[in-house]
């Protein structure tokens, strides 16, 4: 019956698209994978969001509003938990004003396997000169990248489609050398309110157990990058990262950035 579709109710809509990564230096690596993700209404989320325990792992609507000083609706772009497991390298909170206009956003970045986290504000509006709208690199996400360079983060408001971009720019040695994006369209098919494991056999085969698939892709690419001869950078320690970020202060990407950090929640990944 799960394969035939089970309606999860209102409170979230689903988007189907593709994640793309491109590393230009010191070696060129590119890969893409499909993704079906959810945009959750945090003021009236679906039942599964709390029942799965996922709500406890994210900010509430009021917490997001407090951080950006707005009072309108808040939505969260994320991948739903699957069989008790979550894997979200980045989730985004879209914060609107009382008129419904997107005014600010929060990025929630988590690294693998340490599960450390940083949440910070950014201006989602795309700009012509990305190099002047960056924020300090606020987390050691990949062990194959150092902490130099800066992040440029932008996103469109979720409507009929959504685009999210995270680039690593202004590196002192490599310049602008890493680009990642999500481009997705609103799912308007038969299973528009169903999670991936409940949205018919086709979606089950293509998108079922998305968190587990994402984890596999992360580790598979790590092996490929290591074999390509890219240097390995040990975790610098989250306290050192936080000190470095706060010393740099706010940049053009959003003011105030107001980053908050969460350490690895369990052994042996504490750095």
In sequence order, what are the beta bridge partners of 106?
A: 93, 121
Least confident span in 159-168, 218-227, 247-256: 247-256
Q: What is the pLDDT of residues 113-146, one digit of tens each?
A: 999 999 999 998 888 899 999 999 999 999 999 9
Rounded CA-CA distance 153/142 in Å is: 17
> Which is higher by pLDDT, 5 or 13?
13
Rounded CA-CA distance 58/270 in Å is: 20
| Contact indicator for 92, 108 with CB cutoff of 8 Å | yes
**Is residue 17 over pLDDT 70?**
yes
Q: What is the pLDDT of residues 45-94, one digit of tens each?
A: 999 999 999 999 999 999 999 999 999 999 999 999 999 999 999 999 99
Mean pLDDT across the chain: 93
**Is residue 150 over pLDDT 70?**
yes
> How sure is the predictor about 254, in pLDDT bands with cuts at 50, 70 and 90?
low
For every residue of 72-134, DSSP letters joined together read S-EEEEEPPPBTTB---SEEEEEEE-TTS-EEEEEEEEE-TTT--EEEEEE--S--S-GGGS-
Instruction: Say what the pLDDT of residue 271 is.
Output: 59
């Amino acid at each position: 019956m799960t394969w035939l579709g089970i309606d999860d109710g209102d409170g979230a809509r689903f988007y189907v698209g593709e994640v793309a990564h491109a590393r230009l230096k010191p070696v060129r690596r590119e890969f893409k994978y499909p993704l079906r993700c959810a945009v959750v209404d945090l003021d009236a989320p679906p039942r599964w969001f709390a029942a799965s325990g996922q709500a406890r792992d994210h900010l509430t609507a009021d917490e997001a509003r407090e951080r950006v000083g707005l009072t309108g609706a808040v939505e969260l772009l994320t991948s739903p938990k699957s069989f008790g497991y979550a894997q979200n390298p980045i989730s985004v909170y879209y914060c609107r004003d009382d008129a419904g206009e997107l005014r600010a956003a929060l990025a929630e970045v988590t690294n693998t396997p340490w599960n450390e986290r940083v949440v910070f504000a950014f201006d989602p509006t795309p700009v012509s000169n990305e190099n002047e709208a960056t924020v300090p690199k606020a987390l050691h996400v990949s062990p194959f990248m150092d902490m130099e360079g800066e992040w440029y983060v932008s996103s469109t408001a979720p409507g009929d489609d959504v685009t999210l971009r995270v680039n690593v720019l202004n590196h002192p040695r490599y310049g602008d050398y890493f680009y990642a994006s999500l481009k997705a369209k609103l799912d308007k098919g038969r299973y528009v309110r169903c999670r991936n494991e409940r949205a018919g056999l086709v979606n089950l085969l293509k998108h079922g157990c998305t968190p587990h698939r994402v984890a596999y892709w992360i580790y598979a690419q790590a092996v490929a990058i290591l074999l390509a001869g890219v240097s390995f950078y040990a975790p610098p320690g989250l306290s050192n990262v936080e000190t470095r970020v706060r010393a740099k202060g706010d940049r053009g990407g959003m003011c105030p950035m107001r980053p908050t950090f969460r350490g690895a929640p369990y052994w042996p990944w504490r750095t």
